[in-house]
Amino acid sequence: MSETIYQGLAGVNVDTTQISHIDGLKGELIYRGYDIRELANKASFEEVTYLLWNDDLPTQDQLAEFKNGLKPHYILPQEVIEVLKLMPKDTHPMHAVRTAVSMLGATDSAAEGVDLDNVHRIGLSLTAKFPSIVATFERLRNGQEAISPDPDLSIAGNFLYMLTGEKPTEAATNVMDVALVLHAEHGSNASTFVARAVASTLTDVYSSITAACGSLKGPLHGGANAAVMQALEKIGSVSKVEDYVMNILGTPGGRVMGFGHRVYRVLDPRAIILKEVSHHLAEESGDSKWFEMSLEMERVMDREMTKKGKEIKPNVDFFSASVYRMLGFPTDMYTPIFAVARISGWMAHLYEQYADNKLMRPRMVYEGPLGKSFKAINNR
Ligand code: CMC
């Protein structure tokens, strides 16, 4: 009997969720009923994190309480700082993030509990600590002293502050905040699915989030933003974009990074917003090279994909690359920044998973041989 195979779990519904909804045909992303386009313009990352973890947006009092709850968690335990100091300076910063999360688990004497109160405590802690981990590793690998967090700043502002030691401008903080809101949550993407699959064994939150970090790092997922910038750097100028794209498309299995999506068949709504942000930053900074190269890549891909009848459009990682470049971040920090945002979505999903758990245990169709007889090792 032939069995249906859903390679890559494409099109498989593993559970229900209240957290977010993607309409891949309309190009809509909804967080608990609210359109991402509205949230990106009007809500802070803290408000959105509260929304993802609760039923609705916070009142002013609820938001103040939520921010107060984050404050004691910004500072990293000394053991984590020591581990970050031990990491090779040229290691990928996602190794540092993943290892730091694992170390946080080792230093938390209450790591094991998966009751919702404990999961919520760890969620607050990780949301506050992710920016501290990324900024601290960035400074340490450059031979600089780590900067203590300023808990009076927003998560976006504190991240920028911990990188440089200077209070960030309102404009830079706002751009960072929009990027965090846009990357916060995206349904059953690979890393969120991994987090839920690990949590479904009823292991601890740190184990789930460590695994999610490993998944996010891959170039087909969160690693694509860095891959986009590496491509733009390699190309070097607008006039060389077309040859680069045609060369990749002419290579069997070639993928132009930052394009395509498992769910969207039209433009990713997050890409539309980030394109506007990238355009704005290019005009403000007078450094339009990265934006113009991105536009040219989009134009060539659109033309070629239309010819092939494929709906392959820019995704969230495409314009975030030029945005992060213009904000001055090193390329290998782009995916860790994605993690700073996505921890809020991962945690929202862990609340759902632990609250109504079923062990994830799909099957595979065996196609190997049967009936072989065993030979002792000296007879093989
Ligand atoms: N460049 C060129 N061709 C592409 C691309 C691309 N970026 N993406 C898909 N295609 C083609 C693919 O070659 C295939 O062609 P054919 O049917 O002739 O074999 C067709 O489109 C369908 O591709 P698929 O592999 O079935 O699509 P998928 O749903 O498995 O892949 C994807 C989705 C995101 C892995 C893929 O589009 C890709 O590799 N994109 C580049 C990496 C990237 O930007 N990843 C970020 C994804 S969004 C944010 C996130 O999750 O972090």
The residue contributing the CA closest to ligand 1 atom 4 is: 255
345 lines ligand 1 (CB under 6 A): no
CATH for 224-326 (1.10.3720.10, 1.10.230.10, 1.25.10.10, 1.10.10.10): 1.10.230.10
The secondary structure of residue 239, as a DSSP letter, is: G
CATH code for 20-217+332-355?
1.10.580.10
Asked if 317 is an active-site residue, the reply is: yes
pTM of the model: 0.97
312 lines ligand 1 (CB under 6 A): yes
* Atom in ligand 1 nearest the alpha carbon of residue 8: 30
Q: What's the mean pLDDT when you consider all of the chain?
A: 97
Whether 1 has a pLDDT exceeding 70, the answer reads: no
The two three-digit tokens of residue 125, written as one number = 């802690």
Pick the catalytic residue: 73, 261, 279, 349?
261
Model confidence pLDDT, tens digit, residues 152-185: 999 999 999 999 999 999 999 999 999 999 999 9
The SS3 of residue 141 is helix
Model confidence pLDDT, tens digit, residues 105-118: 999 999 999 999 99
**Mean of the pLDDT values across residues 2-16?**
93
The reply to whether domains 20-217+332-355 and 224-326 share a CATH topology is no
Per-domain residue ranges for the chain? 20-217+332-355, 224-326
The secondary structure of residue 21, as a DSSP letter, is: E
Asked if 261 is an active-site residue, the reply is: yes
Residue with tokens 């999903």: 349
**Helix extents (H) in 108-259:** 116-141, 155-164, 170-183, 190-199, 205-216, 224-235, 241-249
Residue length of the chain = 380
Helix (H) or strand (E) holding 297: helix 289-308
**Contact in structure between 241 and 300 (CB atoms under 8 Å):** yes
